Amino acid sequence: MVAAASVVVAVGTATGMISALDDGRGSDEARLEVTESPEPQPVAPSPSPSLSASASPSPSPKKKASPTPSPTKTAKKQESAPVSTRLYRHPDSQVLEWVRDNPGDPRENVIESRIADQPAAVWFADYTPSTITSRVRAVTSGGAAQGRVPVVVAYAIPDRDCGGASEGGAPDLDAYDAWIDRFAAGLGSGEVVVILEPDSIAQSECLSDGQRADRFASLARAGRAFKDANPKARVYFDAGHSGWHPAAKQAELLRQAGAASAASSDGVFSNVSNFHRTADEIAYDRQVLDALGGPSSLGAVIDTSRNGNGAPADGEWCDPDGRKLGRTPTLTTGEARIDAYLWVKLPGESDGCKGSPGTFTPSYAYDLASS
């Protein structure tokens, strides 16, 4: 495994994740100007504009100490980042729960205004066939009711994370295919962005050739199932990130997984749970898309939730110090073939070094939001 890792640490239930994003032009820090023009929201979502690594995680990351902030209640009020008028903020997330439960905490204002107020992805990381349809439907119907676009993450592929910190998923690919069908049944008929299985393609070298081919066939099938169930669903496949595989290699893996076919795919996603600067991701994603081929409509979405300072020079992936939020989420990037900047990873959810893996850690969230 390579040192600079992209690790996705999941909790066992669907978690609403809050997001802030970068544009890659100059600083990747969260900016305070509005990134898209506010407009009245229709009852049903209108078609969205076109939406667009690190290495696999080390098995034993070295834990780094993190200084604990000592904010005071008299601290100057933190200015809020602009909130997307198009993306949906699901009302159930770890950060929102923490804000509701800790109104007197001196860090609460910063965390609420800079993180909790932002829309973010909702992860479905547990294999629960009996409830997956209703839980996905709760998110998509909530977005449709507000005329906003939800972002959902399907994360239950068998042999997930190659047995690493986020191991788990469905027991086998037949069970996974059935879970995907139930997931698709909850997508509704409005706009929705689907992030399909972070790390499932970039981190597939732990599989045998036969296992990899079977996984890729299931991913292609998943994309088709989502788009058949809801033609407005926009489905993105795993491109790792700019610090992982060369673009040509990643494109070949993506092609094998069906990402070049409009029947399965709207393009690729990169930088999930990682820290690489948006400018680097834009250049990388365009190289991947060029090498991938397929229709010109394919684009990329970039996770900019924690990349305001870029990736640490030492390649640390587990809650590294000195990181900060990127720009707030938007479906309007102004960049060709880059469909959206999203917060797929919730800022403040630990990778396992500053808190328990996958749990919201307020000290980490405060560090990111106040840097």
Catalytic residue among 23, 28, 117, 161: 161
Contact 220, 264 (CB under 8 A): yes
Q: Which residues pair with 338 in a beta bridge?
A: 300
Catalytic residue among 23, 181, 199, 238: 199
* Strands ordered across the beta sheet of 233-238: 15-16, 122-124, 151-154, 192-196, 233-238, 267-270, 299-303, 338-342
Catalytic residue among 280, 285, 339, 351: 351
Instruction: Look up 199 and say whether it is catalytic.
Output: yes
DSSP string covering 180-228 = HHHHHTTS-SS-EEEEE-TTTTTT-TTS-HHHHHHHHHHHHHHHHHHHH
Q: Which among 265, 286, 281, 295 is positioned nearest to 194, based on CA atoms?
A: 265
Distances (CA, A) of 140 to 35, 87, 340, 341, 348: 24, 11, 18, 19, 24
Residue 104: CB partners within 8 Å, gap ≥ 6?
none
CB neighbour class for 240 (10 Å; exposed up to 12, middle 13-18, buried from 19) = buried
Instruction: Look up 351 and say whether it is catalytic.
Output: yes
Instruction: Look up 161 and say whether it is catalytic.
Output: yes
* Residues noted as catalytic: 161, 199, 351
